[in-house]
């Protein structure tokens, strides 16, 4: 059995690490830092977030008590691979905080393509000649396009396949516990991607190589093991964040099929996180190519 990385893994690596920024030497030595704790009302997260264009986003900040919020300058940049462009005039931190809180509220710009934003916090010196950088907040902003429109090429390709093969099994079959797969089922329905519910167990006696089986990882799974099934195309997702599963995409290819484990925490974020939605569409599109034997990119 040969282990292989999932196709186009570079795309996933970029999504996973797009905004895991490293502090500069000056920041690391400065203990008085402004630290993003996570989207307000959501579990704690890294210092980078995904949002839709035009969306109002709230972020919980840790701000040291002795920092004067009226003096902290917030600079906003739009980032590309080569340059950083100032997006708007500088403002002070207090104007972006909900009254009496350390909850930052910012409006994402409308964008036509995926855009990176950087909010940088600076504490000017008394003479205003220098400033200490206190921390950054990074966003990856996605166009606010309906899922149905975004997934149309894939959905159309699947329907065409099923029209051309009326006696074949469905191109996508959900396998596993119905309740656990509810987020995935809702996502596929929002994308208008045809699918059918299949077996309640991953241990299927006679899976079809012409079907993409979508399921979830059992609780006792590890990175290096797969449930005992024989052939077919399988794409399995971690149902929630599991400390023992390092986030990533792990594929095993055998003569009978391809088995891929996704330990990125996608399922619990599918409803609201554009980055999770983008990643899920990419994974399904790549996995379904050998099933459909057609180009699903157009």
Torsion of CA 25, 26, 27, 28, to 10 degrees: 50
The per-residue pLDDT for 3 is 45
**Which pair of tokens denotes residue 80?**
């590309």
The pTM score is: 0.76
Over the stretch 216-262, which tens digit does the pLDDT of each residue have? 876 655 545 555 555 678 888 876 655 666 778 888 877 777 888 88
- pLDDT above 70: percentage of residues in the chain: 70
Q: How far apart are CA 186 and CA 192, in angstroms?
A: 10
Per-residue burial over 148-186, b if 16 or more Cβ lie within 10 Å, else e, is: eebbeebbebbeebbeeeeeeebbbbbbbeeebbebbbe
Q: How far apart are CA 236 and CA 50, in angstroms?
A: 23
**Three-class DSSP category at 282:** helix
Phi, psi (deg, nearest 5) at residue 55: -80, 140
Q: Closest by alpha carbon to 201, among 178, 171, 182?
A: 178
**Which pair of tokens denotes residue 5?**
């990385």
Q: Worst-scoring range by mean pLDDT, 108-112, 245-249, 282-286? A: 245-249
The per-residue pLDDT for 93 is 95
222 Cβ contact list (under 8 Å, min separation 6): 244, 245
Q: Tell me if 158 sits within 8 A of 194, measured CB to CB.
A: yes
Separation of CA 238 from chain center = 13
The per-residue pLDDT for 261 is 84
Class of domain 31-142: mainly beta
pLDDT at 2 over 70: no
Q: Which of 2-11, 141-150, 203-212 has the highest mean pLDDT?
A: 141-150
Q: Tell me if 138 sits within 8 A of 117, measured CB to CB.
A: yes
> Cα–Cα distances in Å, from 73 out to 56, 92, 174, 201, 268?
20, 5, 50, 55, 35
Structural domain boundaries in the chain: 2-12+146-292, 31-142
């Amino acid at each position: 059995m040969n282990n292989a990385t999932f196709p186009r893994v570079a795309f996933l690596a970029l999504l996973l690490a797009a905004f895991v920024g490293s502090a500069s030497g000056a920041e690391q030595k400065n203990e008085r830092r402004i630290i993003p704790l996570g989207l307000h009302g959501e579990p704690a997260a890294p210092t980078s977030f995904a949002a839709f264009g035009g969306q109002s986003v709230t972020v919980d900040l840790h701000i040291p008590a002795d920092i004067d919020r009226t003096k902290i300058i917030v600079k906003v940049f739009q980032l590309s691979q080569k340059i950083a462009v100032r997006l708007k005039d500088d403002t002070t931190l207090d104007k972006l905080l909900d009254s009496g809180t350390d909850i930052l509220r910012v409006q994402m710009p409308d964008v036509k393509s995926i855009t990176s934003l950087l909010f940088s916090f600076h504490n000017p010196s008394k003479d205003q000649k220098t400033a200490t950088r206190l921390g950054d907040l990074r966003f990856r902003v996605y166009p606010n396009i309906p899922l149905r429109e975004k997934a149309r090429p894939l959905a159309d390709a699947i329907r065409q396949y099923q029209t051309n093969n009326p006696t074949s099994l469905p191109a996508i079959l959900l396998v596993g516990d119905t309740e656990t797969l509810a987020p995935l089922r809702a996502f596929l329905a929002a994308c208008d991607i045809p699918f059918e519910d299949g077996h309640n167990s991953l241990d299927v006696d006679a899976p079809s190589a012409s079907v993409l089986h979508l399921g979830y990882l059992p609780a006792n799974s590890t990175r290096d093991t797969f449930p005992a099934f024989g052939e077919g195309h399988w794409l399995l997702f971690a149902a929630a964040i599991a400390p023992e599963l390092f986030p990533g995409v792990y594929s095993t290819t055998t003569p009978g099929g391809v088995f891929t484990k996704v330990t990125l925490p996608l399922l619990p974020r599918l409803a609201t996180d554009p980055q999770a939605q983008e990643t899920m569409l990419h994974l399904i599109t790549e996995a379904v190519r050998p099933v459909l034997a057609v180009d699903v990119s157009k």
